[in-house]
Amino acid sequence: MMSARRDDHCSYGLQMMPEFGFLIDMDGVVYRGDDPIPEAISFLEMIRDYPYLFLTNNSSTTPEAVLDRLVRLGVGHCGIENILTSAMATASYLHQMTPAFTYYAVGGPGLHAALSEYGTADEETPDYVVVGEGEGLDYHAVTMGITMLLRGRSKLIGTNPDVNLDGTYNGRPAVLPGCGALIAPFQVGSGMEPLFVGKPSQVMYQQGLNALGRKPGEVFMIGDRPETDIKGAAQIGIRTILVTTGRFNEMTPIRPLPRSRISS
């Protein structure tokens, strides 16, 4: 099993909970950098017949690229239907709020691909200025985005609030800027507060529950970030498992969530 610190609601054996499903973070939970976490791969094999969904805040890559990586790491039973990125969640949410929406996007290919499924790119007066991870942030993009926001029609959307994430740059391990950092110029320049869709937002968790066909109390969220993975899940009533293989470890201080915000 994964090395994990569990809340007191997670003391069940898998054989006793066939009705349960799993939401699973990826970086720091399934792998570290380019290396799989062996115990995690074994655990995923154990739950292959349970409803499960990989829930990642990284909006820069497409679900196809995510799937390819999982297969290379040894998760052979996964499909596109088992993946939800914050870019996918954002596109779905904007479509729900504004069918046939228009957008100006700043971020990686995963963001552009997800938004184009539901909306239409617009460099004049889009409904939304959407920022995610990945390359694309330059003087031109900031100027365009701020101008659109100050015209008063566009709303500022962030795929997630993470300020950084672990990854590689020029072939070397690096800490990459997350959406929470990349959206700052647009936020400061326009004076507009962004709406974030990814974890810990309830929006992404609700989409995950809908995909699994489960109620909050019937799902476990497995993650390595108390402030996003665990906090957001607990607030909606999802049971939580905090692993120590990623950003969080046994020496990391953590404040317990109020009991009233954790499901029984």
- Residues noted as catalytic: 25, 27
CB of 22 closer than 8 Å to CB of 219: yes
Work out the angle at residue 156's Cα, subtended by the Cα atoms of residues 60 and 177, and round it to the nearest 5 degrees.
Answer: 35
Nearest to 86 by CA among 206, 165, 197: 197
- The identity of residue 4, as a single letter, is A
Distance, C-alpha 159 to centroid of its chain? 8
Peptide bond just before 200 cis, omega within 30 deg: yes
Helix axes 109-118, 86-97, angle to 10 degrees: 30
The whole-angstrom separation of Cα 107 and Cα 84 is 17
Helix, strand, or coil (residue 232): helix
All residues at 6 or more sequence positions from 86 whose CB lies less than 8 Å from its CB, including other chains = 56, 57, 58, 59, 132, 159, 160, 179, 197, 198, 199, 204
Token code pair at residue 241? 């498992």
Contacts of 155 (CB under 8 A, 6+ apart): 127, 128, 129, 149, 192, 195
Instruction: Give me 66's structure tokens.
Output: 């995510």
